[in-house]
Copies of this chain bind each other. A is one copy, B any other.
């Protein structure tokens, strides 16, 4: 059996009670200054490490937060986690990671089996086709706060952190219009996701503002992968009335589309404008380089974690919704004259 140094060892060594050691170790209680110093010294000398199972049991808090998201193998999510992690690390919290693979079933299974008694809060971005949120309600009923980011569950009284999907899309499409494109298609994400809907609205409103119209067949919903983008572009190019440009819901789709267009000898930029969303590093690698809306993924991660910690530490912290503005990054894929 493993043996670790406990407060009992410190107490024995110093010939005082464990209660006093316990109090000295946290600085919230009245303890004689010298006693505290002796305890602290001894703790370092013995390399004492608190047993979080025990503190968790006794106090009902664990300094663990769960992060639950669809994937981690892409720029956006991995950067968000890095931001979350930065704040958690500074604040002495541990991150427990769960990946749903974008499957609603797996999401439900994970949430229902969460080691909820050793979790102080949850940070979550839901799966594309999640439509059942009762398991979140159950978690919240246990007084475990949740903060949603990016892919949020509406109708839940929790804090949310988002990028400005509507205005980002609006700006991206307007940029296309200003550069002379008139027949703008939109390859969108799954229409169940709120941010997909917001980007679609931004697209529609930008067209409307400039008295341009779209066609139903120019709006295609599918997944978020490069492969999806490829297929969407193929579909658009097969139309009798072809668009002259594409606003993609994210960069991976945009890149898939560009790859397809290039393979067909279509000159991206000149012949066919493309604008993405995210500012994935790949958008600089592809040629022509991709014009896109940059999302502050790292900041979103940091802010989400900060909010969650506030909820954890202040019982009645009022839920907030934070929206980060996007930023248009103009590159080569959207200029008729490269």
- Give every chain B residue within 8 A of A115 (Cβ-Cβ): 49-50, 52, 63, 94
Tell me whether A52 and B2 are in contact (CB under 8 A): no
Tell me whether A2 and B60 are in contact (CB under 8 A): yes
A52–B75 CA distance with the chains assembled, in angstroms = 33
The contact of A53 among B53, B72, B73, B142, by CB within 8 Å, is: B53
Tell me whether A78 and B82 are in contact (CB under 8 A): no
- Give every chain B residue within 8 A of A117 (Cβ-Cβ): 4, 49-54
The 4 closest A-B pairs by CB, nearest first: A53-B56, A51-B117, A53-B57, A73-B78
Of the candidates A4, A72, A113, A144, the one having the most CB atoms from chain B within 10 angstroms of its own CB is A72
Tell me whether B73 and A85 are in contact (CB under 8 A): no
Encoded as 1 (CB less than 8 Å from any B CB) or 0, chain A from 199 to 232 comes to: 0000000000000000000000000001000000
A142–B49 CA distance with the chains assembled, in angstroms = 12
Q: List the one stretch of A29-37, A181-189, A235-243, A280-288 in contact with chain B.
A: A280-288
Pairs A–B under 8 Å by Cβ, sample size 9:
A49-B115, A67-B97, A73-B75, A78-B78, A85-B97, A85-B98, A89-B110, A285-B285, A286-B286
Residue A99 CB within 8 A of the other chain: yes
A277–B99 CA distance with the chains assembled, in angstroms = 27
- Give every chain B residue within 8 A of A51 (Cβ-Cβ): 57, 117-118
State which residues 60-88 of A face B: CB under 8 Å.
Answer: 60, 62-64, 67, 71-75, 78-79, 81-82, 85
Tell me whether B97 and A52 are in contact (CB under 8 A): no
The interface size of chain A toward B, counting residues with CB under 8 Å, comes to: 52
Residue A95 CB within 8 A of the other chain: yes
Give, as a whole number of angstroms, the nearest-CB distance from A29 to chain B. Answer: 19
Tell me whether B62 and A53 are in contact (CB under 8 A): yes
- Give every chain B residue within 8 A of A118 (Cβ-Cβ): 51-53, 56, 118
Residue A178 CB within 8 A of the other chain: no
Tell me whether B143 and A2 are in contact (CB under 8 A): yes
The contact of A97 among B4, B54, B97, B226, by CB within 8 Å, is: B97
Residue A162 CB within 8 A of the other chain: no
Tell me whether B94 and A96 are in contact (CB under 8 A): yes
Residue A122 CB within 8 A of the other chain: no
The contact of A282 among B78, B89, B282, by CB within 8 Å, is: B282
Q: Do A95 and B97 form a contact, CB below 8 Å, given A4-B142, A73-B75? A: yes
Give, as a whole number of angstroms, the nearest-CB distance from A278 to chain B. Answer: 13
A94–B4 CA distance with the chains assembled, in angstroms = 22
Encoded as 1 (CB less than 8 Å from any B CB) or 0, chain A from 116 to 151 comes to: 111000000000000000000000001110000000
